[in-house]
Each structure stands twice: as C-alpha cells, then as structure tokens.
C-alpha cells in the first residue's frame, strides 16, 4: 500500500470514526459467529457454543478499541514530525519574546498583542507536549 | 499425550499471519484456523489478539483488506498479502531461522 493510500485511509478513519468502529465490530462479531457455529458442529448446544466462542475470543471491547486506535494512528512514525513541531513553536515563542523586548514604541496595545502572542505559542507548545503518546508498535 | 501449548510473541504472530496469507486471501477467522492447522494446534493465541495484529500489518502496508461475501453468504473482511508483505515475509523467515539456529546452538553447547 502506497503512502498516499495509507494517508487516505488514515484521514478517512479520522473523519468517520463511527464507521470504522462499526466495521471493526462487524468483523469481530463475524469471527465469534463463525467460532460459535464450529462449536455447534462440534456437538455443543447453541448457548454453550456462543459462550465458548466469546471466551476463546478474549476481551472483545479491548480488541475493538485497539483496532480502532490503530486505524486512527498515522501511517508513519510521527516522532520526527512532533519534534519538528515543538522546535518550530519554541523558536516562534523565542522570536516573539525578542521582538517584544526590542520594539522601540511600546504602546499598551502592542505590548498586550505581544504578550498574547507569546501566551498562545506557550499554550500550543504545552498542548503538543501533553498529546505526545507513548509509541505503539 | 497432551501437547504443550506455547504463547506467541507479537513478532511471531505477525510472521505467521504473513505466512498464512502467502497461501491465499482469507478473513480473520480463516487466518486463525489456518494458523492452528499449520502449527498442528500447538500455538495457542487468544483469537481476538489476531485482529490488532492484522490492523498493524495493514497499516504498515504488508497486507491489504477488502470486504466481500464469505462461503456462508455473510459480509466478511478478507486480507491478502501485498508485494511489500511478501518481501517482509522473506526477511522475517530469514531472521527467524537465524534466531532459532543460534538458540539451538546455545542449547546444545555443553
């Protein structure tokens, strides 16, 4: 699968998370149903077969969540991108601080603008850092 | 005699999925069945754990999926190996043989 195809799939997963969740659920339920049928063919009664199928499948909710998360994860290692973003925001914040310190005509409004700019950059930086998740395989 | 059932490392499961799909397109349940069959039921996995593995492999571009109708006329998602996946399978097999060989050598050393 090309990077373009992977990116289209990733964007689709982000835009339609409910659709992805439904698809994952359909897929997992199909598996359980097939297993239950095999159990019935093996001599179990339907209720027992269904229970055994659920047991051998494991934690349905956990696997569904994992599959949905993987669908929504970037199709490439995002660490360099995140680092680049952090550096860019930190550089912009530094530049804004220098600009604020070196502006000759300091009207109260321009100082407020500069402080606001620095605050926004600082917030962006904090949010970017907070959203950093441990890398999953 | 009852067989001892081995747990699977993630990388091993990925390799087995790739190997299974090298024989043809299958849905998740079929892949699980085939793995049990080719390993003579010796490799024990929680059936659901197959799916995060499949999604990871698809995200890496080693397999691709398509919704189709199964033998019993139900909608099912079928997976198949991509060209990149076929190459990866060769790499994984070589790595596995190297690792298994080294482990055997270590175990036989007196």
Give me the domain span that covers residue A114. 79-130
The whole-number average pLDDT for the span B103-110 is 87
pLDDT for position A130: 63
- pLDDT tens digits, residue range A20-68? 999 999 999 999 999 999 999 999 999 999 999 999 999 999 999 999 9
- pLDDT tens digits, residue range A77-107? 677 777 788 788 778 877 777 777 776 666 7
Residues A9 and A67 in one domain: yes
What pTM, to 2 d.p., does this model score? 0.73
Residues A54 and A7 in one domain: yes
pLDDT for position A7: 77
Residues A65 and A102 in one domain: no
- Decide: B64 and B84 in contact? Cβ < 8 Å: no
Q: Which of B47, B63, B77 to mutate: most A Cβ within 10 Å? A: B47
Q: Is B60 helix (H, G, I), strand (E, B) or coil?
A: coil
Structure tokens at A89: 């925001």
ipTM here: 0.84
CATH of the domain at B101: 1.10.10.10
Structure tokens at B71: 């033998």
Query: In 10 A of CB B101, how many CB atoms?
Result: 10
Instruction: Tell me if A135 is assigned to some domain.
Output: no
Q: How far is B42 from chain A (nearest CA, A)?
A: 15
Instruction: Tell me if A136 is assigned to some domain.
Output: no
pLDDT for position A22: 95
Cα–Cα distance measured from residue B48 to residue A55, given in angstroms and rounded to the nearest whole number: 10
Q: How far is B30 from chain A (nearest CA, A)?
A: 9
């Amino acid at each position: 699968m090309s990077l373009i195809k992977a990116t289209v799939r990733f964007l689709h997963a982000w835009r339609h998370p409910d659709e992805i969740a439904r698809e994952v659920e359909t897929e997992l339920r199909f598996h359980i149903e097939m297993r239950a049928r095999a159990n019935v063919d093996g001599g179990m009664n339907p209720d027992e077969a269904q229970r055994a199928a659920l047991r051998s499948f494991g934690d349905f909710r956990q696997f569904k969540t994992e599959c949905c998360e993987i669908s929504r994860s970037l199709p490439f290692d995002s660490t360099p991108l995140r680092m680049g973003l952090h550096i860019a925001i930190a550089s912009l914040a530094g530049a804004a601080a220098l600009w604020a310190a070196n502006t000759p005509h300091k009207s109260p409004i321009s100082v407020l603008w500069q402080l606001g700019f620095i605050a926004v950059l600082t917030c962006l930086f904090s949010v970017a850092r907070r959203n950093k998740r441990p890398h999953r395989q | 005699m009852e067989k001892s059932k081995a747990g699977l490392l993630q990388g091993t499961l990925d390799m087995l999925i790739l190997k299974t799909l090298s024989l043809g397109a299958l849905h998740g349940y079929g892949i699980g069945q085939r793995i049990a069959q080719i390993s003579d039921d010796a490799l024990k996995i929680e059936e659901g754990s197959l799916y995060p593995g499949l999604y990871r492999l698809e995200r890496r571009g080693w397999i691709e999926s398509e919704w189709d109708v199964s033998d019993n006329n139900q909608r099912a998602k079928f997976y198949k190996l991509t060209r990149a996946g076929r190459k990866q399978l060769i790499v994984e097999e070589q790595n596995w043989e190297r690792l298994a060989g080294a482990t055997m050598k270590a175990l036989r050393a007196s």
